[in-house]
A and B are shown apart, each in its own frame.
Chain A
Amino acid sequence: MKKPANRFEWMIALRFLLRGRAQTLLIVLGIAVGVAVQFFLSALISGLQVSLIDNTIGAAPHLLALPADRLPAGAFMGGGAERRDSGRVLIDERTEIQSWQTYVDDLRRDRRVLRASPVANGQGFIERGGAVIAVIVKGLVAPDGLDIYKIREKTVAGAPELASDTALLGQRIAERLTLAVGDKFVLRNDRGGRLVMRVGAVFDLGAAAGNDLLAAPMDQVRSFFAIGGVSAVEAQVRDVFAAEEVARDHGRQYARVKLESWQERNRQLLTGLRSQSTSSVTIQFFVIVSISLAIASVLGIAAVQKQRQLGILKAMGTSDRSASRIFVIQGLLLGGIGSLLGLGLGLLMGWGFVAGTDAAFGLEISARTLLTPIALALAAAVTASTIPARKAAALSPIEVIRNG
């Protein structure tokens, strides 16, 4: 008994909407524009954020275990928390990490951590044809060390393998010194050390500062710079936003190293991202409010316009609930059709944006950016239709019939 009655309501709702075609079209377009703007904005802002985050940490560690020296002494010495390493800081641990294998193992055991690897850093110089340029030398361990910097993925020439006397060069260094795969050059350090190296591969990390990098096997870099331990332990986590929490969890267990997440090193970026999100939520909120008001007013007018019809339908046996559902269904139809159209419009806007500008970032089209505007528009439509729906339920057929 209930199902056919529902079909009756859908049928009436559809006819009511089709009858006022111009009105229906206007409101559907209104919803579509609202949804399109909402979708486009949130896809754009998410895209921008994803690309900002990717630029910042896509080819970089998400968290670092650094020697204790970098931290003010009081910060890690206090508290009675249990330590997994001895609380006493060794002299050379002020600049290096000695027992790095413990930290690497600990981090790797954490399911949130994608990869972890020790690294030895130094400042070097390459001289060639009278030019001397400074390079950041990174001593890495394969495979995690290479993958944190996406060196294997971003290699443009040569084979990205770590081997003795072989250097993997960032694109910028290679270009400035006109070095190609197979070429030999001399790497110096400020203590007078000298190493003849062969270019094993050239990688291009894009705009990132990574193109000033020279990567070499860690052990060779350690002996070249006379580092007894390692400079840091670096890690990437699965969910980049969990880095801070992972750093906090592990940092609590260690006294001799300090864990630092990318968030801590990029406070300003985070503040920027947050205010972007806030403004996008604000815009979405007002779009929703205007959609709701538009639907409420159009359906409110419709409820008055259709009084005669509703009166006779009720006289012929339509129940109050059925009458009110006719308007909720109209709201649903308007919201549904409007938001589908809006999504198409939004995708078109997005396509136009990507094709028409040379922005360094794309649109983030995900289930969230796609479905949120639809869900919000539908919810707004149904909520807005409750006002005329209530009016329709309260209408008494005898009023209509008595007043002609």
Chain B
Amino acid sequence: MADAVLRTRALCKTYFGKVDTPVLHDVSIEIARGGFTALIGPSGSGKSTLLNCLGLLDPPTSGEIEFDGRLIRERNVNDLAAFRNGNVGFIFQFHYLLPEFNALENVLLPCWIGGGRPAAETRREAQRIMERIGLGAFRDKAVYELSGGQQQRVSIARALVNRPKVIFADEPTGNLDRESGQAVLALMAELNRESNITLVMVTHDREVALQADHIYELVDGRICRTLDVGRSGREAAARELEDRSCTFKQ
């Protein structure tokens, strides 16, 4: 891949405990800059684990991660936190909004963390983002007064506000009804298309995955299939996902 914003080489992750649980094995993938990449696979295959490693939330046990050309070595947790603030945004299955703040204040939290009280320009930008995603009327609402879909849209705005290079989404519609889930997904796909923010999304919905440019399928912590939807076309990709059971290439 010519322009990859993220690259992993032989990434391994083991959870150590009473019993050591190896979760990821030799994962080497590339995430195209500005693209939409979907991670799919059965439950327990390690999708969330991989996403958290890519998002620099969880350190891998071994292997390398290259983020925007920088090799992320074992770094101090506080340095990593500062790096995340400026470079990545997260959208999780649960919205993780802070009930102490209203919608707009929640959206502005990453700005507060990075540089204190947001400037007027930043606040206007946050409002623009909220209007763009249909939250204009809910700016000053307490987050617990919003519907699930609205809450998830607030967390999308929050992920966008610092203009990150990559947004990581872990089943962002997992907690929503079908309709609002569709709306949220459509919105994310649109945002990805109109800006050059890279989107990496975990999903177990094949329909959703087929909207992506690239699909990685994980089984038992290994990449078993890589689909370039952009090149093969959606139908071919769909057929491939339906027809063939996943087998590991040695």
Interface residues of A (CB under 8 A from B): 1, 3-8, 11-12, 15-16, 18-19, 308-309, 311-322, 397-398, 401-402, 404
- Tell me how far the C-beta of A27 lies from the nearest C-beta in chain B, rounded to whole angstroms: 17
Chain A residues contacting B84 (CB-CB under 8 Å) are 315-317
Q: With A4-B117, A313-B113 in contact, do A318 and B100 touch (Cβ < 8 Å)?
A: no
- Cβ 8 A contact of B98, one of A3, A6, A8, A312: A312
Q: Is B246 an interface residue (CB 8 A)?
A: no
- Cβ 8 A contact of A16, one of B100, B113, B117: B100
- Tell me how far the C-beta of B100 lies from the nearest C-beta in chain A, rounded to whole angstroms: 4
| A15-B116 in contact (CB<8A) | no
| B93-A309 in contact (CB<8A) | no
Q: Report Cα–Cα, A3/B112, bound state, in Å.
A: 12
19 A-B residue pairs with CB within 8 Å: A1-B115, A5-B113, A7-B117, A18-B100, A19-B99, A19-B100, A312-B98, A313-B98, A313-B109, A315-B96, A316-B85, A316-B109, A317-B83, A317-B85, A317-B114, A322-B113, A398-B58, A401-B57, A404-B93
- Tell me how far the C-beta of B31 lies from the nearest C-beta in chain A, rounded to whole angstroms: 19
| A404-B116 in contact (CB<8A) | no
| B52-A316 in contact (CB<8A) | no
- Tell me how far the C-beta of B89 lies from the nearest C-beta in chain A, rounded to whole angstroms: 8
Q: Among residues 93 to 137 in chain B, which have CB atoms less than 8 Å away from a CB atom of chain A? A: 93-94, 96, 98-101, 109-110, 112-117
Chain B residues contacting A1 (CB-CB under 8 Å) are 115
Chain A residues contacting B98 (CB-CB under 8 Å) are 15, 309, 312-313
| A398-B113 in contact (CB<8A) | no
Which 8 pairs across A and B sit closest by C-beta, in order of nearness?
A4-B116, A317-B85, A319-B78, A312-B96, A15-B100, A19-B100, A8-B112, A317-B113
Q: Report Cα–Cα, A10/B124, bound state, in Å.
A: 23
- Tell me how far the C-beta of B86 lies from the nearest C-beta in chain A, rounded to whole angstroms: 8
Q: How many residues of B contact A (CB 8 A)?
A: 30
Give 1 or 0 for each of B124-163: 1 = CB within 8 Å of chain A CB.
Answer: 0000000000000000000000000000000000100000
Q: Is B203 an interface residue (CB 8 A)?
A: no
| A401-B113 in contact (CB<8A) | no
Q: Report Cα–Cα, A19/B117, bound state, in Å.
A: 20
Known: A308-B96, A404-B93. 19 other contacts (CB 8 A): A4-B115, A4-B117, A5-B116, A8-B112, A8-B113, A15-B101, A18-B100, A309-B100, A312-B96, A313-B113, A315-B57, A316-B84, A316-B109, A317-B81, A317-B84, A317-B114, A321-B78, A322-B113, A401-B92
Chain B residues contacting A19 (CB-CB under 8 Å) are 99-100
Q: Is B90 an interface residue (CB 8 A)?
A: yes
Chain A residues contacting B93 (CB-CB under 8 Å) are 404
Chain A residues contacting B92 (CB-CB under 8 Å) are 401
Q: With A4-B115, A8-B112 in contact, do A402 and B100 touch (Cβ < 8 Å)?
A: no
Chain A residues contacting B96 (CB-CB under 8 Å) are 308, 311-312, 315, 401
Q: Report Cα–Cα, A243/B83, bound state, in Å.
A: 67
Give 1 or 0 for each of B26-66: 1 = CB within 8 Å of chain A CB.
Answer: 00000000000000000000001000100001100000000
Chain B residues contacting A7 (CB-CB under 8 Å) are 116-117
Q: With A15-B100, A315-B90, A321-B78 in contact, do A3 and B116 touch (Cβ < 8 Å)?
A: yes
Chain A residues contacting B113 (CB-CB under 8 Å) are 5, 8, 313, 316-318, 322
Interface centre among A6, A308, A398 (most CB of B within 10 A): A398
| A314-B115 in contact (CB<8A) | no
- Tell me how far the C-beta of A315 lies from the nearest C-beta in chain B, rounded to whole angstroms: 6
Chain B residues contacting A318 (CB-CB under 8 Å) are 81, 113
Chain A residues contacting B71 (CB-CB under 8 Å) are none
Interface residues of B (CB under 8 A from A): 48, 52, 57-58, 77-78, 81-86, 90, 92-94, 96, 98-101, 109-110, 112-117, 158
Q: Closest A-chain residue to B94, C-beta based?
A: A404
Q: Report Cα–Cα, A402/B77, bound state, in Å.
A: 18
| B52-A398 in contact (CB<8A) | yes
- Tell me how far the C-beta of B210 lies from the nearest C-beta in chain A, rounded to whole angstroms: 27
- Tell me how far the C-beta of B72 lies from the nearest C-beta in chain A, rounded to whole angstroms: 15
Q: Report Cα–Cα, A219/B158, bound state, in Å.
A: 95
Chain A residues contacting B58 (CB-CB under 8 Å) are 398
Chain B residues contacting A15 (CB-CB under 8 Å) are 98, 100-101
- Tell me how far the C-beta of B113 lies from the nearest C-beta in chain A, rounded to whole angstroms: 5
Q: Report Cα–Cα, A317/B109, bound state, in Å.
A: 10
- Tell me how far the C-beta of A299 lies from the nearest C-beta in chain B, rounded to whole angstroms: 16
| B57-A11 in contact (CB<8A) | no
- Tell me how far the C-beta of A313 lies from the nearest C-beta in chain B, rounded to whole angstroms: 7
Q: Report Cα–Cα, A7/B90, bound state, in Å.
A: 24
Q: Report Cα–Cα, A8/B83, bound state, in Å.
A: 18
- Tell me how far the C-beta of B125 lies from the nearest C-beta in chain A, rounded to whole angstroms: 17
Chain A residues contacting B90 (CB-CB under 8 Å) are 315-316
Interface centre among A12, A19, A319 (most CB of B within 10 A): A319
Chain B residues contacting A314 (CB-CB under 8 Å) are 81
Q: Report Cα–Cα, A108/B76, bound state, in Å.
A: 69
Q: Closest A-chain residue to B175, C-beta based?
A: A404
Q: Report Cα–Cα, A119/B158, bound state, in Å.
A: 87
| A398-B78 in contact (CB<8A) | no
Chain B residues contacting A5 (CB-CB under 8 Å) are 113, 116
- Cβ 8 A contact of B52, one of A3, A321, A401: A401
Q: Closest A-chain residue to B82, C-beta based?
A: A317
Chain B residues contacting A402 (CB-CB under 8 Å) are 48, 52
Chain A residues contacting B57 (CB-CB under 8 Å) are 315, 397-398, 401
Interface centre among B77, B83, B98 (most CB of A within 10 A): B98
| A320-B78 in contact (CB<8A) | yes
